């Protein structure tokens, strides 16, 4: 492995760590450096480019993400090109409108990392449940005068059939 490849892998690893920590600007810088150091036709370059697309998207740089994703969709590595096409499909999908009540706000936890006490967490209240359980519907009483209780012979036919089957099984079981 050459020194350039080793540096590319190091920057790629740093970019992934930065991305996982939510430091998208640093992740973009690391992935861009790694991408400039590798051969554009290698499977590793495709992996770096996919991560760079994802970092661009996380950073809000949608135009750069879509442009790079379109180029990566023609990558010589089949798996990379397939991932890029799938990602491009997602990036170009129309944005759905959502109402604010569908969203849950996430408190800012950045002060927790610095050791400062957070006022937001102590004031957080669990969501209020305004829904009451629906009462189960009671079954309507059946008017027995409307039920046909006449013997229609199906019960006797069923019992006779069962007896024939059990007898046949007994004969087969004991005869062989």
Q: Is the pLDDT of residue 50 over 90?
A: yes
3-state DSSP percent of the chain in helix, strand and coil, to 5: 60, 0, 40
Least confident of 21-30, 47-56, 87-96, 146-155: 146-155
Give all domains of the chain, ordered by start, each with its CATH number: 3-91 (1.25.40.10)
Q: Which one is predicted more confidently, 87 or 149?
A: 87
pTM of the predicted structure, to 2 decimals: 0.56
SS3 assignment, position 28: helix
What pLDDT sits at residue 63?
Answer: 92
DSSP code per residue over 78-120 = HHHHHHHHHHHHHHTSPPPP--GGG--PPP--HHHHTTPPPHH
Q: Distance between CA 108 and CA 106 in Å, rounded?
A: 7
Vertex 142, ends 139 and 145: CA angle to 5°? 175
**127 vs 103, more confident:** 103
Residue-wise pLDDT tens digits, 83-116 = 999 999 998 888 888 888 888 877 766 666 555 5
Kindly state the tokens that stand for 142: 């059946």
Which residue shows structure tokens 């087969």? 172
- pLDDT beyond 90 at 129: no
pLDDT of 105 reads 75
């Amino acid at each position: 492995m050459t020194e350039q490849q080793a540096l590319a892998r190091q920057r790629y690893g740093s970019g992934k760590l930065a991305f996982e920590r939510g430091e998208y600007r640093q992740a973009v810088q690391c992935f861009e450096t790694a991408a400039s150091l590798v051969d554009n036709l290698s499977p590793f370059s495709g992996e770096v480019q996919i991560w760079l697309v994802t970092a661009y998207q996380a950073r809000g740089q949608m135009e750069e993400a879509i442009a790079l994703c379109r180029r990566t969709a023609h990558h010589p590595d089949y798996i990379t090109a397939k991932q890029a096409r799938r990602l491009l499909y997602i990036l170009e999908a129309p944005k759905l409108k959502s109402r604010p009540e569908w969203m849950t706000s996430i408190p800012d936890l950045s002060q927790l990392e610095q050791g400062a006490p957070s006022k937001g967490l102590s004031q957080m209240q669990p969501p209020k449940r305004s829904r009451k359980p629906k009462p189960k519907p009671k079954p309507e009483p059946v008017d027995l005068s409307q039920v046909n209780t006449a013997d229609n012979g199906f019960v006797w036919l069923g019992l006779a059939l069962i007896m024939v089957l059990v007898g046949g099984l007994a004969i087969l079981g004991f005869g062989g």
